[in-house]
Structure 1
Amino acid sequence: MPNRNSAQNAPELHLISTSPIDIPKLLSVSLAALPYLDYIHVRDKQLTAKGQLEVLQRMLESGIPLGKIVVNDRLDVALATRAANLHLAGHSLSLGSARPLASGMRLGRSIHSAEEAVQAAADGADYCLFGHVYDTASKPGLPGRGLAALTATAKACPFPVIAIGGIRPDQAGEIIRCGARGIAIMTGLFHAPAPAEEAQSYRLSMQAAWKGGEPRAGSS
């Protein structure tokens, strides 16, 4: 099992697939931005296990390393592909049910509050996705939870908090200064005319805020 308390050398950049998944688009964006990405999540609630398996196989055939691929929701697919990473949403299996079967995998959980983060840590998560931070078109009518909620969540967590939701490159620094250990993006790359340059912008903004060390939650 990964060490949940180990220090990171740099904040993480996650790419979340759009839904429904357009496989050629996913491959082109992922490969272009690959040098700047730590993880690529295959997430589509409408996909069957067979469909998700096909997406993963296409990614592997294109040269995307298995270690960078995150299987969302489907423990069966993660086991079938010997995946290194599994992410669980609120509707997924519980962490307690998944952990004995997901031995050796980096296991994440989607959360929306500091209280949920504390519970996820107790249940055996290695990291969490917290959001949505800012207003985003993918969550119409639902206001962002904001930086104060992100800061409180990061302070409560003994493991990395990855922020998601409407984050632009120019906002990446303040996200890291709130204590987040990384950022997850979706339309920010899929809608970018130059995905590699956009991913690099996120990476440089995070690194500038990180300044080579671990930021304290809520620091400015």
Structure 2
Amino acid sequence: MKEIHLISDGRLNPEQFAGLAAAVHTMVDYIHLREKALSARELLAAAERLLQAGVPPSKLVINDRIDVALAAGAAGVQLAWHSLPPAKARGIAPGLRLGRSVHSPEEAARAGQQGADFCLYGHVFPTACKPGQRERGLAQLELAVRSSSIPLIAIGGITPGNTGIVLSKGAAGIAVMSGICGATDPAGAAQAYRSSVQAAAYAEVLNEAPLPGKGGELE
């Protein structure tokens, strides 16, 4: 099944984000705590607030801070370009699921070679989170998927309406920030993304099904 990663956008305080996460966690696969302005102590408190709100530890991913991920009992850590290399992080925390943020097919290929479990690639479409920066586009996304030996999660300007085309390029899932965090109805937005992912998976099954007379069971 294709994955949905929800990533905090830094605009909600920890209490607000915990409330949002509690409302949507059943509709997403992972929740990333990406709060660059928080200290390690504050980030740990925010992670604990998420857990207390009902977010399963198996869904919690901490951005950059391996120490906080371990202290919180999180499932994984998302490594940025300035973070430890995946191989070094693996030596410190062999039990964590390691994500790597990448921005090109070459970086996607290296992420797998360095021992990451998945990579977060973007931004695919124009997004307010990256003002003034040119999007990578669908052609580069497809090339990055082909270059990567690990699952690639697409991020950047992804909506329920374009989720299908993104997943059709081979992405293993999508990551969403403002599409849920900035929505007036976060639970409704999360459900819309989940429905789009399910529809894309159904379309993929139909496309792969053998036709009558072509080796299928209806022959």
**Same fold per superposition (TM over 0.5):** yes
Count of paired positions = 207
Percent sequence identity over aligned pairs: 46
Q: Distance in 2 between matches of 1:145 and 1:25?
A: 32
1:40 paired residue among 16, 31, 42: 31
Would you say the 8 A contact 2:22–2:50 is kept in 1?
A: no
- The match for 1:6 is none
Deviations 1:141-193, CA, capped at 9 Å, x for gaps = 11211001110011111211100001111000001001101111111011212
- The match for 2:212 is none
* Displacement after TM superposition at 1:50 (Å): 0.5
* Displacement after TM superposition at 1:96 (Å): 1.8
Would you say the 8 A contact 2:15–2:49 is kept in 1?
A: no
Instruction: Name the structure, 1 or 2, with higher relative contact order (CA <8 Å, separation 6+).
Output: 1
Q: Distance in 2 between matches of 1:31 and 1:88?
A: 24
- The match for 2:19 is 28
- The match for 2:63 is 72
- The match for 1:178 is 169
Q: Any idea what SS the aligned residue of 2:162 has?
A: helix
TM-score (norm 1): 0.89
- The match for 2:120 is 129
Q: Distance in 1 between matches of 2:75 and 2:202?
A: 29
Q: Distance in 2 between matches of 1:21 and 1:95?
A: 29
Would you say the 8 A contact 1:20–1:46 is kept in 2?
A: no
Q: Distance in 1 between matches of 2:4 and 2:122?
A: 15
TM-score (norm 2): 0.90
1:11 aligns with 2:14: no
Q: Any idea what SS the aligned residue of 1:170 has?
A: coil
- The worse-fitting range, judged by mean Cα deviation, of 127-136 and 90-99 is 90-99
1:94 aligns with 2:95: no
Q: Distance in 2 between matches of 1:84 and 1:197?
A: 26
Structure 1 unpaired stretches of 5+: 1-9
- The match for 2:189 is 198
Question: Structure 1 pair 145/43, CA: closer, same or farther in 2 (3 Å)?
Answer: same
Amino acid in structure 2 at the alignment position of 1:210: A
Would you say the 8 A contact 2:77–2:98 is kept in 1?
A: yes
- The match for 1:103 is 94
Structure 2 unpaired stretches of 5+: 208-219
Moved over 3 A (4+): 212-216
- The match for 1:83 is 74
Q: Distance in 1 between matches of 2:179 and 2:105?
A: 26
